[in-house]
Amino acid sequence: MSDRIRFELSVPVATRQDSVGYIAGCPALDVYSQGPTEDVAVRNLVEALELFLASCYRRGQLDRVLKDCGFELDQNPESPAPDTQRMVRIPVPLVSGAEAQAH
């Protein structure tokens, strides 16, 4: 039997245009990507963040990376994020049991 859970991280994104297209970044995690349009740059950033977080998790370093980026448990999790920041959702799917062993 396998169990699946999926959670999402909402991360802030900043974009800017450069001479060849757009750069999208998540400065909070120091991950950046690019694309010919703003939408493509953001999609590429989401993919880069998915891969980054999966890699950190597989290496057993996700907690360390988040702490090194300055994150800690929020003592007031009900407080809303500033409305001025653009946020994107990054899916983090996890599986346990026999199915996890097959990967």
Q: Which long-range contacts (CB under 8 A, 24 or more apart) does 80-89 make?
A: 81/10, 81/12, 85/12, 85/13, 86/12, 86/13, 86/14, 86/15, 87/10, 87/11, 87/12, 87/13, 88/10, 88/11, 88/13, 88/42, 88/45, 88/46, 88/49, 89/8, 89/9, 89/10
Average of pLDDT values for 42-58? 95
Higher pLDDT, 83 or 93: 93
The fold of the 2-102 domain, in CATH, is Double Stranded RNA Binding Domain (3.30.160)
pLDDT for 2: 66
pLDDT for 17: 97
Name the pTM for this structure: 0.82
The answer to whether residue 82 scores a pLDDT higher than 80 is no
